[in-house]
């Protein structure tokens, strides 16, 4: 049996990195959400935020743990499987990843301990500061990863030595170029949207089951409210991502666009059924002129097809093509859901959740995984679209593999990762599901809004809470100890 170490290493990298990104995509946003809740609790004194914090901290702990352990694998795979890449581009990629561990990993890991175990050991401000440090750490981590990956997509500011190693010539350009500063916000917003929809979907789920009505409404309102603002921003930034791709990675761009032949003016394909063998689309649905307009801003520009790229420099066609459509399609659905939600809230329908249309709650609930799928689809588009290069135009994936590596060794490690990840993924998602199903802590009373004019109890300094001004109703301490919960079992 002749096992190909390159193919197996690619499968292993794709598998481990896809598994890993699911968790940061969730925890980057969750860390920010936790910091927001803690800040709101400090500012308003509303016990609801404290309860939401305690609830989501448990979910965060499980997801963060899985992100950490699967992330360690990534830090070593560049050397184990891609040593040629590590040696040759190490002078640029190495420092970027070293910065990640110095500024991000240690920060988030250390203050995560305070978050989990330090509540009664540090002053309140220090606890809040710890939530900020964890959120900052996850954000820094995303920045360095995007800086590193951007350099692999659009290598810049380097010169080559005689042995083919890259030597950095301008770090400022590597860190502050236009490409990175559209890709980093794109990732960050993707993570925030993933979390926003997870939180909103949890709220919708509880509302469907008539549980934790007040907390559920807050989650739904905050999640959809945030998504209503961020989704359009994400679509605009996504467009800029397309522009850099068209400029720097035309091969990837043509595959994303589904364009085989050069067109003038170019259409924008919405859907198609590509036939890779025949190098054409069997069936397609496109809008005339719009392809030229989206890329060049006029209605007559010529847009190159993939046939202009030499065959040995073309990426696989189907994954970037469909990956891009899945991502964009989910983005459009998220926009519709978020805006529909805000419209329903504006009409006051959220004040009495019984009047929220059930189809809408179901739709939000079912979009729990949308953010995750969109992030994965986007990464598949970006990474597969860069093939056959590992560093665009500079180093081919096939030349980057560890020379001494045997296919058998990769097969062994791949099987080990797959089985262990299958075990911890099924257990971890099951435990998160159980946490979500168990719901919020019952220790605190669950205040239900009563008459709108109800004053806060004297001496408690409790401010009526109106999360994002949308949850409606007033907080009345002590009124109604629990929401109707016919299905707590």
Partner 1 sequence: MPMDLQHFWGAVLALSILIYVLLDGFDLGVGILFGLNRDEAQRRDMMGSIAPVWDGNETWLIVVGTVLFGAFPVVYSIFLSAFYLPVALLLVALILRGVAFEFRYKTHRGRWIWDFGFVAGSAVASFVQGAAIGAMVAGITVDGRNFAGSPFDWVAPFPLLCGFGLVAGYALLGAAWLVLKTEGELRDWAWHWIPRLMTAVIVFVGLALVGTLIGDFRVVDRWLAQPWLFLLPVLASLAAWQLYRACAKQRSDWHPYALTSVLFLTAYLMLAGSFWPWLVPYDLTLAQAAAPQASLEFLFWGAGVVVLPVILVYTGVVYWVFRGKVAPGQQYH
Q: Which of residues 260-319 bind partner 1 (CB under 8 A)?
A: none
Helices marked H in 249-389: 250-257, 290-296, 318-346, 358-366, 370-386
Of 3, 4, 43, 72, the one binding partner 1 (CB under 8 A) is: 72
Q: Considering beta carbons, is residue 85 or 220 the nearer one to partner 1?
A: 85
Task: Determine the Cα–Cα distance for residues 8 and 245; give it in Å rounded to an integer.
Answer: 28
C-alpha distances (whole Å) from 92 to each of 110, 179, 218, 303 are 27, 17, 45, 33
Q: Is residue 167 within the footprint of partner 1 (CB under 8 A)? A: yes
Cβ atoms of residues 44 and 447 within 8 Å: no
Interacting residue with partner 1 among 44, 70, 392, 476 (CB under 8 A):
70
Q: What phi and psi values does residue 230 have, to the nearest 5 degrees?
A: -80, -30
**Is residue 482 a contact residue for partner 1 (CB under 8 A)?**
no
Q: Is 99 in the site for partner 1 (CB under 8 A)?
A: yes
Binder among 4, 171, 318, 460 for partner 1 (CB under 8 A): 171
Nearer to partner 1, 374 or 432 (CB): 432
- 413 near partner 1, judged by CB under 8 A: yes
- Output the CA torsion sign for 201, 207, 213, 214: positive
* Least distance to partner 1, CB of residue 314, Å: 29
Site for partner 1 contains 61 (CB under 8 A) = yes
Give min distance, CB of 419 to partner 1, in A: 9
Return the residues of window 112-131 that contact partner 1 according to CB under 8 A: 112-114, 116-118, 121-122
Q: How far is CA 7 from the centre of its chain?
A: 27
Binding partner 1 by CB under 8 A: which of 18, 36, 87, 262? 87
Q: For residues 312 and 55, give the distance between their C-alpha atoms in angstroms, rounded to a whole number.
A: 52
Q: Which of 39, 95, 242, 477 binds partner 1 (CB under 8 A)?
A: 95
Residue closer to partner 1, measured from CB, 326 or 418: 418
> Which of 412, 422, 450, 457 forms a contact with partner 1 (CB under 8 A)?
412
Binding track over 383-402 against partner 1, x by CB under 8 A: -------------------x
Is 236 near partner 1 (CB under 8 A)? no
Other CB atoms within a 10 A radius of the CB of residue 35 amount to 21
CB nearer to partner 1: pick between 46 and 402: 402
The angle formed by the CA atoms of residues 138, 339 and 470, to the nearest 5 degrees, is 80
Maximum Cα interatomic distance, the chain, rounded to a whole number of Å: 79
Distance CA 24, CA 5 (A): 28
Select 101 or 482, whichever has its Cβ closest to partner 1.
101
| Long-range Cβ pairs for the range 205-209 (8 Å, 24+) | 205/365, 205/436, 206/439, 207/353, 207/356, 207/361, 208/358, 208/361, 208/362, 208/365, 209/487
Among residue numbers 421 through 450, which ones bind partner 1 (CB under 8 A)?
421, 424, 427-428, 431, 434
């Amino acid at each position: 049996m002749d096992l190909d170490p390159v193919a197996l290493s690619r499968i292993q990298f794709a598998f481990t990195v896809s598994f890993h990104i699911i968790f940061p995509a969730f925890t980057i946003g969750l860390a920010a959400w936790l910091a927001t809740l803690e800040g709101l609790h400090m500012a308003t004194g509303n016990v609801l935020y404290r309860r939401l914090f305690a609830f989501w901290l448990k979910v965060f702990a499980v997801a963060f743990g899985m992100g950490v352990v699967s992330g360690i694998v990534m830090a070593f795979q560049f050397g184990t499987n891609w040593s040629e890449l590590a040696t040759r581009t190490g002078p640029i990629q190495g420092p970027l990843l070293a910065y990640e561990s110095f500024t991000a990993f240690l920060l988030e890991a250390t203050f995560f301990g305070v978050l989990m175990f330090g509540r009664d050991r540090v002053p309140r401000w220090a606890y809040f500061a710890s939530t900020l440090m964890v959120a900052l750490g996850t954000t820094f981590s995303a920045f360095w990863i995007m800086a590193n990956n951007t350099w692999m997509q659009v290598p810049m500011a380097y010169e080559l030595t005689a042995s083919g190693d890259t030597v950095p010539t301008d770090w400022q350009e590597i860190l502050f170029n236009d490409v990175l500063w559209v890709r980093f916000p794109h990732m960050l917003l993707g993570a925030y949207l993933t979390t926003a929809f997870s939180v909103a979907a949890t709220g919708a789920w509880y509302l469907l089951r008539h549980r934790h009505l007040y907390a559920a409404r807050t989650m739904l309102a905050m999640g959809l409210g945030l998504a209503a603002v961020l989704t359009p921003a994400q679509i605009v930034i996504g467009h800029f991502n397309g522009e850099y791709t068209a400029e720097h990675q035309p091969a990837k761009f043509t595959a994303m666009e589904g364009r085989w032949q050069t067109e003038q003016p170019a259409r924008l394909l919405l859907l198609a059924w590509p036939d890779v063998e025949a190098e054409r689309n069997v069936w397609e649905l496109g809008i005339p002129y719009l392809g030229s307009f989206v890329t060049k801003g006029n209605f007559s520009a010529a847009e190159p097809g993939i046939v202009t790229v030499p065959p040995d420099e073309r990426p696989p066609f189907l994954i970037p093509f469909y990956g891009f459509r899945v991502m964009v399609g989910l983005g459009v659905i998220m926009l519709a859901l978020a805006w529909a939600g805000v419209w329903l809230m504006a009409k006051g329908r959220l004040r009495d959740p019984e009047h929220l249309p059930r189809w809408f709650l179901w739709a939000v609930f079912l979009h729990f995984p949308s953010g995750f799928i969109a992030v994965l689809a986007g990464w598949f588009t970006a990474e597969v679209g860069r093939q056959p290069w590992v560093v665009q135009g500079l180093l081919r994936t096939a030349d980057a593999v560890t020379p001494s590596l045997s296919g058998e060794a990769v097969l062994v490690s791949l099987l080990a990762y797959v089985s262990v990840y299958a075990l911890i993924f099924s257990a971890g998602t099951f435990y998160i599901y159980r946490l979500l199903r168990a719901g919020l802590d019952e220790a605190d009373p669950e205040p239900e809004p009563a008459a709108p004019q109800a004053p806060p109890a004297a001496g408690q300094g409790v401010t009526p809470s109106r999360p994002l001004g949308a949850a409606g109703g007033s907080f009345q301490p002590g009124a109604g100890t629990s929401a109707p919960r016919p299905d707590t079992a």
